[in-house]
Amino acid sequence: MDCKLKVDKRATGLKIYRLLESSELSREEIAEFLELTSPRVIYDWVNGTKLPSTENLLNLAKLLNVQIEDILAI
């Protein structure tokens, strides 16, 4: 069975980068909304080294007024 999906971290990072740039929100404002201790993790998402947690993904989609599918690249 080859029906398993896998999230492409690098492509997801690029999508997050584009969404953040078009939102005109600072990384600090986003970190504050998501209740992160530092905006550093957002840079990890954008660089494709890490993915947002499920909770952060849901809240990021809400903040940016997009669907989760608009953030994740499969």
Which pLDDT score is estimated for 5? 86
Q: What is the mean pLDDT of residues 39-57?
A: 96
Which pLDDT score is estimated for 36? 95
Confidence class for position 1, pLDDT limits 50, 70, 90: low
Confidence class for position 9, pLDDT limits 50, 70, 90: very high
* H-type alpha helices, the chain: 9-23, 27-33, 40-46, 54-64
The CA–CA distances, whole Å, from 32 to 35, 46, 56 equal: 5, 17, 12
CA–centroid distance for 50 within its chain: 9
pLDDT tens per residue across span 17-46: 999 999 989 999 999 999 999 999 999 999
In order of their start, the domains of the chain are 9-69 (1.10.260.40)
